[in-house]
């Protein structure tokens, strides 16, 4: 798994929970890397799972919520790090560009990365269905990323996670409805 | 744990991460360098292939043009040559007649005798006219032979028919060429010929012989008063023949043009500019290539590369 997933998680924990908390989580997780992550490196998925289990125990927050929260944080950081990917008009266009453009660019940067696949079903101006497939089954992280994107584009959307690999389905399905912002 | 200790733990972790990042950077830089080298090499290959392609295209279009020109020139050339030969014979008869007439001792009718005297006293006397007529015929015939040779070369250059092909020993073709050129070479060129036994290639021996005649002749011309021509042959994956002279060399700016038809840097009238383009065409038809290395003042080396495995269709 790409190091950036870990470096941003470590940043988030340090910013939101403090350095002492981060140190103790990384020490408790007893990670092969020692938690010394770098964005260019590759690390085992099991290290992420160890950290999440540790956080679940300590914060008493289920892993899926932690991942959603992290996904949102991650997207807002990625928007700062890679502004070119976000130079589109709206949330839906951005989501449609993930597989066709962003993943293509990421493969250039990280040729050995295994990225999730997204299949889209465009349901008109206000509707989009995304089929998510990944051996890592990080669908809750994907949910958080979509929510983070909605924030970035100052958009409102509803997300129904109608099928899920964690419930034995072949893939996860995100059914999205986009709304005009009413504030 | 004190705040300072927390920072120390974080620092050690970040330090480890930095070392890891540096190692990745170093590895990526090395990989980038390697890939760049591959790219530079691929680019050079591509450029060479592009140059080759342009040359091939140019020769292909000039080939069809040459075929047309050769055909058009050949017909009038045939009757001009034939008529000149006949005219030469007739002129000899007239010369004989005139000589007899001048030598006649018997008195001629007055009108004829006066006319004969007038001719003899004109600026160009009979003797001069006779000699000049013969010289003119010799020059015209030599000029026609030259035109015939150029047309023949053009036809070879434009050749698409492989002609009479057979299994040929390239070394034999080199020896034949050296025999033909012996008169040209013996006074100024020291020949250093080392030929290793070669497998035969399926080709037309006279075509291949023409290549060696052209290139060895060029080497001889490139040598001033005296010099050495080294000829080597050997084979591995393909057959290679190198012909190297220590002559004046080819300047870099004209090197790309030497295979262009009608390109020559020999004095006017001494070269048709078809030798190397014809040779290039023949070698290409055999699936081979010609490599040239030259340095002004040092010499030139032509390397002819022939594939050993002739294409199946070439044999059919």
Taking an 8 Å cut-off on Cβ atoms, the answer to whether B16 and A19 are in contact is no
Can you tell me the mean pLDDT for B168-186? Answer: 85
Which CATH number covers residue B243? 3.30.565.10
Residue B312 has pLDDT above 80, yes or no: no
ipTM of the complex: 0.76
Does B219 share its domain with B95? no
Q: Could you tell me if B67 and B158 are in contact, meaning their C-beta atoms sit under 8 angstroms apart?
A: yes
Does B185 share its domain with B262? yes
Does B97 share its domain with B177? no
* Backbone phi, psi, residue A117, to 5°: -105, 145
B191 has which bridge partners? B229
Residue A31, SS3 per DSSP:
coil
Does B22 share its domain with B135? yes
Q: Which CATH class is domain A70-179?
A: alpha beta
Give the pLDDT of residue B184.
Answer: 80
Residues B241 and B129: their CA atoms lie apart, in Å, by: 53
Interface of A with B in 1-30 (CB under 8 A): 7, 14, 19-20, 22-23, 26-27
Chain A hits for B15, CB-CB cut-off 8 Å, are 36
Does B175 share its domain with B295? yes
Give the pLDDT of residue B124.
Answer: 62
Chain A hits for B25, CB-CB cut-off 8 Å, are 40
Mutate which of B13, B16, B23, B25 to test chain A, going by most A C-beta atoms within 10 A?
B13
Does B116 share its domain with B27? yes
Q: Could you tell me if A48 and A12 are in contact, meaning their C-beta atoms sit under 8 angstroms apart?
A: no
Average pLDDT of every residue of chain A: 93
User: By the CB < 8 Å criterion, does B13 face chain A?
Assistant: yes
Taking an 8 Å cut-off on Cβ atoms, the answer to whether A36 and B14 are in contact is yes
Does B89 share its domain with B10? yes
The pair of three-digit structure tokens given for residue A92, joined into one six-digit string: 């839906």
Give domain limits for chain A. Answer: 3-61, 70-179
Does B174 share its domain with B121? no
Number of domains in chain B: 2
Residues B97 and B95: their CA atoms lie apart, in Å, by: 5
Does B51 share its domain with B145? yes
**Tokens 């981060």 belong to which residue?**
A22
Residue B64 has pLDDT above 70, yes or no: no
Chain B hits for A37, CB-CB cut-off 8 Å, are 17
User: By the CB < 8 Å criterion, does A51 face chain B?
Assistant: no
Last residue of a domain, one of B158, B190, B222: B158
B21: distance to nearest CA of chain A, Å?
6
Instruction: Decide the pairing of beta strands A117-122 and A172-179.
Output: unpaired
Note the pLDDT tens digit of each residue in B237-290: 899 999 999 999 999 888 888 887 777 766 655 566 778 888 888 888 888 999
Last residue of a domain, one of B99, B126, B158: B158
* Residue B245 domain boundaries: 166-315
Q: Could you tell me if B165 and B203 are in contact, meaning their C-beta atoms sit under 8 angstroms apart?
A: yes
Does B232 share its domain with B254? yes
Residues A114 and A111: their CA atoms lie apart, in Å, by: 9
Residues B4 and B1: their CA atoms lie apart, in Å, by: 8
- Most distant pair of Cα atoms in chain A: their distance: 49
């Amino acid at each position: 798994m790409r190091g950036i997933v870990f470096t941003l998680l470590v940043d988030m924990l340090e910013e939101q929970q403090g350095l002492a908390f981060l140190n103790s989580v990384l020490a408790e997780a007893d990670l092969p890397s020692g938690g010394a992550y770098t964005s260019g490196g590759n690390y085992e998925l099991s290290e992420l799972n160890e950290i999440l289990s540790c956080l679940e125990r300590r914060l008493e927050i289920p892993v899926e919520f932690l991942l959603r929260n992290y996904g949102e944080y991650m997207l807002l950081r990625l928007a700062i790090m890679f502004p070119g990917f976000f130079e589109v008009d709206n949330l839906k266009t951005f989501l449609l560009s993930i597989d066709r453009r962003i993943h293509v660019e990421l493969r250039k940067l990280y040729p050995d990365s295994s990225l999730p696949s997204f299949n889209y079903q465009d349901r008109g101006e206000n509707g989009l269905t995304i089929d998510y497939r990944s051996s890592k089954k990080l669908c809750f992280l994907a949910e958080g990323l979509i929510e983070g994107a909605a924030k970035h584009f100052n958009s409102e959307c509803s997300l129904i996670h109608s099928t899920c690999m964690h419930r034995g389905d072949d893939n996860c399905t995100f059914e999205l409805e986009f709304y005009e912002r009413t504030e | 744990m004190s705040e300072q200790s927390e920072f120390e733990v974080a620092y050690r972790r970040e330090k480890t991460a930095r070392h890891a990042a540096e190692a990745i950077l170093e590895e990526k830089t090395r990989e980038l360098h390697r890939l760049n080298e591959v790219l530079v090499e691929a680019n050079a290959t591509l450029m060479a292939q592009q140059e080759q392609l342009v040359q091939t295209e140019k020769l292909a279009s000039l080939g069809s043009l040459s075929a047309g020109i050769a055909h058009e020139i050949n017909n009038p050339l045939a009757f001009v040559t034939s008529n000149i030969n006949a005219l030469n014979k007739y002129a000899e008869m007239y010369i004989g007649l005139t000589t007899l007439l001048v030598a006649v001792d018997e008195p001629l009718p007055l009108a004829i005798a006066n006319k004969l005297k007038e001719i003899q006293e004109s600026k160009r006397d009979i003797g001069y006219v006779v000699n000049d007529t013969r010289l003119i015929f010799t020059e015209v015939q030599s000029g026609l032979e030259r035109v015939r040779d150029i047309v023949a070369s053009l036809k070879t250059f434009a050749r698409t028919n492989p002609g009479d092909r057979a299994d040929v020993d390239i070394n034999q073709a080199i020896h034949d060429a050296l025999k033909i050129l012996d008169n040209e070479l013996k006074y100024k060129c020291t020949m250093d010929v080392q030929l290793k036994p070669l497998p035969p290639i399926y080709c037309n021996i006279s075509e291949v012989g023409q290549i060696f005649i052209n290139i060895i002749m060029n080497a001889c011309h490139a040598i001033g008063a005296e010099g050495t021509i080294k000829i080597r042959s050997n084979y591995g994956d393909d057959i290679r023949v190198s012909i190297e002279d220590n002559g004046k060399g080819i300047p870099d700016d004209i090197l790309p043009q030497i295979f262009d038809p009608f390109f020559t840097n020999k004095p006017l009238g001494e070269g048709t500019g078809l030798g190397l383009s014809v040779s290039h065409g023949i070698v290409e038809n055999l699936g081979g290539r010609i490599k040239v290395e030259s340095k002004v003042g040092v010499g030139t080396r032509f390397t002819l590369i022939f594939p050993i495995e002739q294409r199946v269709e070439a044999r059919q």
